[in-house]
Structures are given as structure tokens and as C-alpha cells.
């Protein structure tokens, strides 16, 4: 298991084109909404990466008291799940 998120070019050669480093725990969940990639980790945080800016780290959300084990996004909201807890964040209040 890894604390890194790897971005792969799947168009022809399946080459790793970018490694996103920022979590201090195992990455357990990913979701995309618009031009943002959200990664959730064992370190209890959600990192927000800007896809249009070469996956630049845009924000760090201190999301939960336990590992973030699931993420989903819809209707301008991010849903994050952790031990017995689901949080809903409006994207307008995030990065």
C-alpha cells in the first residue's frame, strides 16, 4: 500500500506521468468532480488536487477523526466517509 497517488497515461503506454505526494497515511479513496481530484487517506485528511494545473495541491481538509475510507462527489458536494461518520461539504466552501 502507498501514501502516494499516481497519475497514469492510459492512452497507449500506461506510463506513470505524475506522482502526487502529500498524504502521511495510506490512500484509501479517490473521487473527481469538475477539475478537482479529491484523495482521502488513513491520515484522516482529504487533499484537493487541481487537475487543470498539473495536479497542483490546492487544499488540505482536516476532514475526520478516523481514516477517510470513502469519497463521492455530486451536485457540487463532496461526501466523505469515516468510521460511523459521513460528512457532506459544499464545494463552494472548499478550494
- Model confidence, pTM: 0.89
Of 93 and 92, which is predicted with more confidence? 92
At residue 23, the 3 state secondary structure works out as coil
pLDDT of residue 42: 94
Q: What does DSSP say about strands 56-62 and 70-74: parallel, antiparallel, or unpaired?
A: unpaired
CA 35 distance to own-chain centroid: 12
Q: In this model, does residue 93 exceed pLDDT 80?
A: no
Per-residue pLDDT reduced to its tens digit, 33-44: 999 999 999 999
Per-residue pLDDT reduced to its tens digit, 13-24: 889 999 999 999
Amino acid at each position: 500500500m502507498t501514501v502516494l497517488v499516481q497519475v497514469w497515461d492510459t492512452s497507449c503506454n500506461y506510463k506513470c506521468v505524475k506522482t502526487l505526494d502529500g498524504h502521511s497515511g495510506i490512500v484509501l479513496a479517490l473521487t473527481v468532480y469538475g477539475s478537482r481530484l479529491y484523495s482521502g487517506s488513513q491520515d484522516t485528511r482529504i487533499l484537493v488536487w487541481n487537475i487543470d494545473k498539473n495536479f497542483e495541491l490546492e487544499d488540505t481538509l482536516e476532514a475526520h477523526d478516523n481514516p477517510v475510507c470513502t469519497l463521492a462527489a455530486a451536485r457540487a458536494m463532496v461526501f466523505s466517509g469515516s468510521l460511523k461518520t459521513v460528512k457532506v461539504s459544499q464545494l463552494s466552501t472548499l478550494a
